[in-house]
Homo-oligomer: A and B are copies of this chain.
Amino acid sequence: MTLPRSTTQRDEDLIRDFHYIWHPCTQMKDHEAEPPLLIDRAEGLHLYDREGNRYLDCIASWWVNLFGHNHSHINQAITDQLQKMAHVMFAGITHQPAVDLAHKLIEWSSPNLSKVFFSDNGSTSVEVALKMSLQFWAQTGKPEKKRFVYLKGAYHGETLGALSVSGIDLFRNRFEPVLMDNLEVEGPDCLRCPYGLTRDTCKAECFEPMEKALVEEHQNIAAVIVEPLVQGAAGMKMYPPVYLEKLQATCETLRVHTIYDEVAVGFGRTGGLFVSEQLRHKPTFLCLSKGITSGYLPLAATLTEDRIYQAFYGDHDTFKLFIHSHSYSANPLACAAANATFELFAADGFWDALKERIATLKECGEMLKELPWCGEFRQTGLIGACELVRDRDTLAKFPMTQRVGYQIYKKALQRGLFLRPLGDVVYFIPPLVIDPETIRSMVTTARDCIHDVLSEV
């Protein structure tokens, strides 16, 4: 505990933070040298500390915020709902905010999806899909279908079920002995394509290992789970739709469910509401969370098809029901925020303006490409990522111990940007309403920070 004793409110709060709080995904010792930002309020694209310093929320508060902070329309929706009912249980009871939301989710998603199961976060939305898939097979005469296939580098959450379909060693390795026996396959790695192809010309030759796994093992496979187009936690790794087309066709032929985890890429992030709907795919399960409330409140949904639902539908004494619940399922305040979010999506000109912002980010990416350490600038919709490398020709990485990304993070904070690089991948997932001018200044400042840090290492 090296923080100084002090009587200012800020210092006192930071000392209490250090004493009492264990932050997620954080080596707490880092805070000895660099305490967390103490954020007091947020407005639009910015976070403010108590001294009035502001930070551009370049990653939308862990990829959740869509329409900016403190948005009058969403605030009003929550306030209105608060005056009627904050919460009520969702078994034996229903309420209009949930009905409206479910109706909209079904209307806007792929036409094969017809039922909405609510839960609280991305991990639980995935757990629900895994459990529904397992129980479906158990109840339709295929109990041997109980393994899941996932991609190397995949992230689907960190509850133990979700973690057992995640393919990032750093997240898994301490827990490997207790994880479900699932099947990890090599997925797309477009920057370092082993087939020597590019995103534009390939036909997803890298689908080969997945195809092999499915052909050989499909009788034991319940479902394949993927993050469509962008593997977020892997470092915003991006891959083309053709991979998903092959996946869908193969799974359909071999009778394997597909779980599209759009927790990170859903809700406008890629330029359309859902990737699966944009691509006209028909996932068996669609997992949603994060942006669903525009970053206001925890809420998640797992959408599925009627044929899945029907396998659980029957008389009481069949005990076929899906026995899964969370106390705050379909929390009315969160549903109200989500319904307001849908209204903002439907506002005049939103999608055109988003297109323009995506184009601006693309244009700004050129700046980053000029950096001598830019291994690649890649982009899908309003997600932009710059993968930094020690050597541009060999794509050799910086040593992990050098913490290049972390240094850039600290430098950027001094200049009013809140970034959070994934290793050495500096990425942008700003609120969808970021204006072109702010995109330009964000990328310019980030570029300068990268330059200043890497010129010195």
Q: What's the Cα separation between A79 and B315 when bound, in Å? A: 44
In the complex, the answer to whether A94 meets B315 with C-beta atoms within 8 Å is: no
Q: What's the Cα separation between A402 and B20 when bound, in Å? A: 51
User: Of A25-33, A184-192, A344-352, A389-397, which binds chain B?
Assistant: A25-33
In the complex, the answer to whether A89 meets B62 with C-beta atoms within 8 Å is: yes
In the complex, the answer to whether A314 meets B82 with C-beta atoms within 8 Å is: no
- A122 contacts which chain B residues (CB < 8 A)? 326-327
A256: Cβ under 8 A from any B Cβ: no
A317: Cβ under 8 A from any B Cβ: yes
In the complex, the answer to whether B39 meets A93 with C-beta atoms within 8 Å is: yes
Which of the residues B39, B164, B309 comes within 8 Å of A85, measured between beta carbons? B39
User: Of A175-183, A202-210, A363-371, which binds chain B?
Assistant: A175-183
Interface of A is mostly: mixed
A90: Cβ under 8 A from any B Cβ: yes
User: Of A63-71, A273-281, A432-440, which binds chain B?
Assistant: A63-71
List A119-139 residues whose CB lies under 8 Å from chain B: 120-124, 127, 130-131, 134-135, 138-139
In the complex, the answer to whether B159 meets A47 with C-beta atoms within 8 Å is: no
Given contacts A88-B39, A174-B138, are A328 and B95 in contact (CB under 8 A)? no
- A89 contacts which chain B residues (CB < 8 A)? 59, 61-62, 64, 420
- A42 contacts which chain B residues (CB < 8 A)? 84-86, 88
Return A257 CB to nearest CB of chain B, in Å: 15
Which of the residues B78, B131, B139, B312 comes within 8 Å of A160, measured between beta carbons? B131
- A5 contacts which chain B residues (CB < 8 A)? none
Q: What's the Cα separation between A313 and B102 when bound, in Å? A: 43
Which of the residues B91, B102, B174 comes within 8 Å of A25, measured between beta carbons? B91
Q: What's the Cα separation between A158 and B316 when bound, in Å? A: 21
Q: Count the copies.
A: 2
A385: Cβ under 8 A from any B Cβ: no
Return A110 CB to nearest CB of chain B, in Å: 14
A259: Cβ under 8 A from any B Cβ: no
Return A123 CB to nearest CB of chain B, in Å: 7
- A321 contacts which chain B residues (CB < 8 A)? 25-28
Q: What's the Cα separation between A139 and B98 when bound, in Å? A: 44
Q: What's the Cα separation between A316 and B92 when bound, in Å? A: 49
A388: Cβ under 8 A from any B Cβ: no
In the complex, the answer to whether A327 meets B63 with C-beta atoms within 8 Å is: yes
Q: What's the Cα separation between A118 and B17 when bound, in Å? A: 13
- Of all chain B residues, which has the CB nearest A15? B99
Which of the residues B19, B91, B135, B295 comes within 8 Å of A23, measured between beta carbons? B91
A445: Cβ under 8 A from any B Cβ: no
In the complex, the answer to whether B87 meets A328 with C-beta atoms within 8 Å is: no
Return A188 CB to nearest CB of chain B, in Å: 24
Which of the residues B22, B180, B325 comes within 8 Å of A309, measured between beta carbons? B22
A457: Cβ under 8 A from any B Cβ: no
In the complex, the answer to whether B87 meets A64 with C-beta atoms within 8 Å is: yes
Q: What's the Cα separation between A77 and B115 when bound, in Å? A: 35
Q: What's the Cα separation between A122 and B325 when bound, in Å? A: 10
Q: What's the Cα separation between A21 and B86 when bound, in Å? A: 20
Given contacts A21-B94, A84-B41, A85-B41, are A64 and B170 in contact (CB under 8 A)? no
A150: Cβ under 8 A from any B Cβ: no
Q: What's the Cα separation between A256 and B113 when bound, in Å? A: 46
In the complex, the answer to whether A27 meets B170 with C-beta atoms within 8 Å is: no
Return A82 CB to nearest CB of chain B, in Å: 6
Q: What's the Cα separation between A116 and B180 when bound, in Å? A: 28
In the complex, the answer to whether B22 meets A322 with C-beta atoms within 8 Å is: yes
Instruction: Find the residue from A98, A105, A139, A324 having the highest chain B CB count within 10 A.
Output: A324
Instruction: Find the residue from A38, A89, A131 having the highest chain B CB count within 10 A.
Output: A89
Instruction: Find the residue from A13, A22, A297 having the highest chain B CB count within 10 A.
Output: A22
* A to B CB contacts below 8 Å, 6 in the list: A19-B106, A38-B96, A64-B327, A74-B86, A143-B177, A298-B327
Known: A22-B322, A124-B124, A297-B298. 8 other contacts (CB 8 A): A22-B117, A23-B94, A25-B323, A30-B316, A62-B89, A122-B327, A134-B174, A158-B326
